[in-house]
Each structure stands twice: as C-alpha cells, then as structure tokens.
Amino acid sequence: MKVMQRTNLSAEGINKSFSRPGEHDSLKVLEDIRFEIREGEFVSILGPSGCGKSTFLNILAGFEPADSGHAACCGERIREPSPERAVVFQSPVLFPWLSVKDNILYGLKLRKNGRNEAEEIASEYIRAVGLDGFWDYYPSQLSGGMQQRAALARALVLRPKVLLMDEPFAALDAQTRYSMQQLLLGLWENYRHTVVFITHDVEEALLMSDRICIMSKRPGRIIEEITVPFERPRQLSLTGTQEFSMLKGHIFGRLMD
Amino acid sequence: MTVSNWKVDYIGFVLPALIFTAWYLVTLEGGVPAYLIPSPSNLVRVAVDFATGHANLTPYAGTLLVHTLASVQRVAMGFGLAVAVGLPLGFLTGRISLAKSSLDSTVHLIRIIPGIGWLPIAMVWFGVGENTTLFLISLAAFFPIYVNAAQGASSVPPLLIRAGRMLGANKLTIFTTVIIPASLPSTLAGLRLGLGISWAYLVLGELTGVTYGLGAVMMDARMLGHAEMILVSMIFIGLFGRISDMILVGSFKRLDLLREENKE
Ligand SMILES: Nc1ncnc2c1ncn2[C@@H]1O[C@H](COP(=O)(O)OP(=O)(O)OP(=O)(O)O)[C@@H](O)[C@H]1O
Ligand SMILES: [Mg+2]
C-alpha cells in the first residue's frame, strides 16, 4: 500500500557539544547522528531526558548549527529556519499580542498572500484544528490544549514539507493529549506532511509513528530504529495486545541501557 | 471587576477631600494671609478668569490658551525629539550587542548627571528661553525612553523569535513583528516616564525666561505678587500633564497594541 517516496530530511554525522558553565571542557550532547526520513513518513524520536533530542530537533529546524556533519531538507543544506520545516514547541509559543486568527495569518502575511486568499486558507486550518468560533480570541483567553491547536494550525497553514514537534503534548492532561494525538493523526492523513515527533511517551510513539528512533543517554546516538508493525488506523485497544506490550517492553529496555 | 474599580475610585477621593478641607480651613479669616495661600474659591475664580477673561481679575485674564499652546508645543517638540532618538537607539541597544557595547555605558554615564545640572551649560549654549527648554526636555526625556525600550527589547523571549523565524520572518521582519510588539509594555512605560519628565523640564526651561508658557506665567506672577496665579498655573500644568499621559496610553490602546496588558 504505502509508496516509499523520496528522502525528505537527512542528517549525516551530526556532532554537537555545548560549553559547560564554569568548566573548561565541553559537554558532548550529540554523537555521530545519522538519520533519514522519507516524504510523508511519521517518525518518533525517543530517548532519556537530557540525551539531546531537543538539540537535534533545533539543528533540523535550523535554530542551531551542528558542530560537524550535514543536515539537509529536500537535498538542500539546512542553514536557517524556514517555513518548509515548521516547528511545534512543547509550549504553544503563540504571539500573545495577536488574536488566534492573526497568529495563524502571521506566516501567510509574510508570504504576501493576498488578504482574502490568506483568510480563506487560515479559516480552513482553524476549522481543521477545531477552533472555529475562536478566531478573535487572544492566546491568554484559550486553554493550554486550545493554544496548542492554534500553534499546530499556525505551523500547518504554511503547508510545510516537514513538521518538527518537540514533545508537543507533554504539558497536556491525558484526555486532551489523546484528542490532540487523534487530531494530529487526522491532519497528517489529510496533508501528508513529514513528521518528526519527539516524545517521552513510549505508547504515544507506538500509536502514532511509522518508525521509532531510540537515542542513547548523553552523548546521544541513535541506537535502534524500529519500524512499527501495526496497521492504521490504530485503536487505543491496541495497547492491550501482546505484540504491543512486547514491543513496549523492548523499547523500555533500550531506554534503560 | 467593575464593582471593585468603583470602590477604589471612592477611596481615591478621600485624600483630595481632606487636603481641600484643610486648605479651606487655613485660609479662613484670621488664618494664613491670601498673598501666601489664596482661598479655594478665589483660586477657582482666578482660574476661570485665566481661561475666559470675563472678569479681568489678574493681568493674565483670558491668556490661558496662548500660554498653553506655547507650552504644549514645547513639550511636543522636546518629547518628540527624545522619542525619535531614544526609541531606535534603545531598540538597537537591546538587540545588537555591538550597539550595546559601544553605546550603553556612555549613555548611563551621562544619565548620572541630573538633568538640572545641564541648565547652566544649556543657557551658555542655547541662551535663555526657547532652545534651552527644548534641549532640557529632550535630554531628560531621552533616558527613560531609551532605557525602557532597551530593557524591553532585550527581554523578548527567545522562543518567540524562533517561532517568528520558522514562520518565515527574516531578521528585519522579526524586529517589526516580534521585537517591537513584545517590548511594547516596557516601551510604553518608558514613554510615560519620559512624557512626565518633559512637563517637569518644560517648567524648568520656561522659568529661564520665555514670553509665553505656563512656566513663564508662574515666574511673572511671582514678581507681581500673584500667588494665586502661580498655583493656578501649577494646577493647569498638572492637568495637562495628566491629559497628555491619558492621550498617550489611550492611543496605544486604540491601536490595540496593549493586548497583553488586558489579560484576564
Ligand atoms: N544552549 C545550551 N547551552 C549549554 N548546554 C545546553 C544547551 N542546550 C542544551 N544543553 C545541554 O544539552 C543536553 C541535552 O539537552 P536537550 O534539551 O537536547 O535534551 P532533551 O533530550 O531534549 O531532554 P528532555 O527530554 O528533558 O527535553 C543537556 O544536558 C543540556 O544541559
Ligand atoms: Mg527536550
């Protein structure tokens, strides 16, 4: 069924160290990261806290340079942030002085879309994330989950090739997180953007992704890649099956190594 | 919310009422003589006459408008100059480390000198009156505007900037669409301080000798022994200062620039 498409995002031999406050040597955070993701693929990155997941995502986003190695998107070297690689952060990071609508229009306006066209596109995505009726609300007037929906719409409205997500649902309660996961999957089925999804949550990774990359403790390396074998759409009941628990147990084991 | 606002308003009237009563009492027959502290009723009559000129109570009858226009114009020009220089320099210092390292310590060094300390040299450079007043206003208003704009610009959350960048903003559009709006509350605080100081230095400058202006009226009235006119001028200066502050804040609200402030 699945058509294997072109490589969309790739990283080769990425190394990254940070200087340590008050010490002479530096802290090695990423070591020789190799990573590849095909167009439309949904890949999760799992790893112990502090292993460098966010650092890696920041390099893919173009927020920070790697010390060495090579990261590319659609064959072009990543040098700076671009709407091709939209980011959803752990916190919504909406512009508090703009309404939901203007937050979502922000990127479209920079693109110089015509006002009417932009509003039409924006309203499509506002509806897609279930925020119609909240156009004129300001971020401070929304719940955390709604803010994250707006952040998702703000990223998707630019039709990015890649969606980079850094524990986007970690701050939400269990029910909201579940509905956000469903929402994200629905949008992904629809728009088929590539997703890099960082999470702490093994079940979340198994329910959402095509493939899971497991990172080691710092300095982070990718120590295993698992192709998730379950058919989509995946029901919550899947978590009760033996295959699911075995895979989950295996991943937990690797994270503890 | 509205209810508690009303309560606060009532409480706000208590102190002025007490002051007013005390003032009234000391000016009663046998109290402080009128050439030191005029009675409230006399003051009100003189103030109205200052505005309308209907009773010719003082040599200043009916001249409020010309003096006010002269003063307002000086404040507007001096404050405007301070804004035109202070805001851009403040934003630059807040965001660009080269600007900060080359500018900031010098500005703060100059800031230590009290504004009043510039009066003698300003009079040497600009003569008495008009230009000295403009110079003093701009100089004094510059510092709070600069400092607060820099402070606001430097404390914009880095994640907001990253968000703007990944949505397609370049360095320049980040400045106009993220840095400036994110630092507005701090910037406005600086502008309000600067505007208040402008009125203070207006009076200082006008005391050095201008023909028209509320400060000139005060100085002139002192020589002619019209204590009530000094007080009336002070009240009008306070009033116009307050009104100008309300216009400043109101125009920010009107432009819908202060959403964050209205957080529920
Ligand atoms: N700008 C920085 N300067 C110095 N050290 C940094 C910087 N950013 C990250 N680090 C260090 O790099 C390491 C990895 O950080 P990173 O945020 O990538 O971890 P993470 O895997 O995302 O962790 P978590 O799951 O808790 O979010 C940490 O030890 C952190 O202290
Ligand atoms: Mg992280």
Shared domain check, A149 and A184: no
Residue A131 falls within a domain, yes or no? yes
Q: What is the mean predicted confidence (pLDDT) over B133-155?
A: 96
- Whichever domain contains A57, its CATH number is 3.40.50.300
Residue A1 falls within a domain, yes or no? no
Q: How many CB atoms lie within 10 A of CB B154?
A: 18
Has residue A3 got a pLDDT over 80? Answer: no
Shared domain check, A108 and A46: no
Q: What is the pLDDT of residue B256?
A: 65
Distance (Å) of CA B156 to CA A209, A245, B103, B106, B146: 35, 45, 20, 24, 16
- Single out the residue in A159, A181, A209 at which a domain terminates: A159
Q: Please identify among residues 177-206 of chain B the ones whose CB lies closer than 8 Å to any CB of chain A.
A: 177-178, 181-182, 184
Q: Specify the number of domains making up chain A.
A: 2
Shared domain check, A148 and A172: no
Residue A149: CA count within 13 A, CB half-sphere: 25
- Single out the residue in A159, A192, A210 at which a domain terminates: A159
The burial class, CB within 10 Å (0-12 / 13-18 / 19+), for A32 is middle
What ligand is nearest to the CA atom of residue A19? 1
Measure B58 CA to ligand 1 centroid, in angstroms.
Answer: 75
Q: What is the mean predicted confidence (pLDDT) over A80-95?
A: 96
Residue B110: CA count within 13 A, CB half-sphere: 12
Q: What is the mean predicted confidence (pLDDT) over A130-159?
A: 94
Shared domain check, A166 and A78: yes
pLDDT-wise least confident of B3-12, B34-43, B195-204:
B3-12
Q: What is the pLDDT of residue B7?
A: 58
Angle A145-A150-A153 from CA coordinates, rounded to 5°: 130
Shared domain check, A226 and A207: yes
Domain carrying residue A129 = 95-159
Q: Which residues of chain B does A94 touch, with a Cβ-Cβ cutoff of 8 Å?
A: 163
Q: Give B92-131 pLDDT, tens digit per residue.
A: 999 999 988 899 999 999 999 998 999 999 999 998 888 9
Dihedral, CA atoms, B250, B255, B257, B259, nearest 10 degrees?
A: 80
Sign of the CA dihedral A99, A105, A107, A110? negative
Domains and CATH numbers, chain B: 64-263 (1.10.3720.10)
Shared domain check, A174 and A250: yes
pLDDT, chain B, mean: 90
* pLDDT cut 90: percent of chain A above it: 84
User: For residue A98, what are its two tokens?
Assistant: 């703009």
Structure-model confidence comparison of residues B27 and A204, the more confident one: A204
User: Number of Cβ pairs closer than 8 Å across A and B?
Assistant: 71
Q: What is the mean predicted confidence (pLDDT) over A57-82?
A: 95
The burial class, CB within 10 Å (0-12 / 13-18 / 19+), for B212 is middle
pTM: 0.86
Residue A22 falls within a domain, yes or no? no
Shared domain check, A225 and A150: no
Q: What is the mean predicted confidence (pLDDT) over A204-231?
A: 95
Residue A122 falls within a domain, yes or no? yes
Check A96 against B259: CB less than 8 A apart: yes
Shared domain check, A254 and A133: no
Residue A214 falls within a domain, yes or no? yes
Residue A2 falls within a domain, yes or no? no
Residue A71 falls within a domain, yes or no? yes
Shared domain check, A240 and A176: yes
Measure A53 CA to ligand 1 centroid, in angstroms.
Answer: 8
User: For residue B235, what are its two tokens?
Assistant: 């009240």
Residue A112 falls within a domain, yes or no? yes
Q: What is the mean predicted confidence (pLDDT) over B42-48?
A: 91
Q: Are A251 and A216 in contact (CB under 8 A)?
A: no
Q: What is the pLDDT of residue A168?
A: 94
Nearest to B106 by CA among B120, B125, B89: B89
Shared domain check, A108 and A227: no
Shared domain check, A151 and A129: yes
- Single out the residue in A142, A159, A176 at which a domain terminates: A159
Shared domain check, A70 and A36: yes
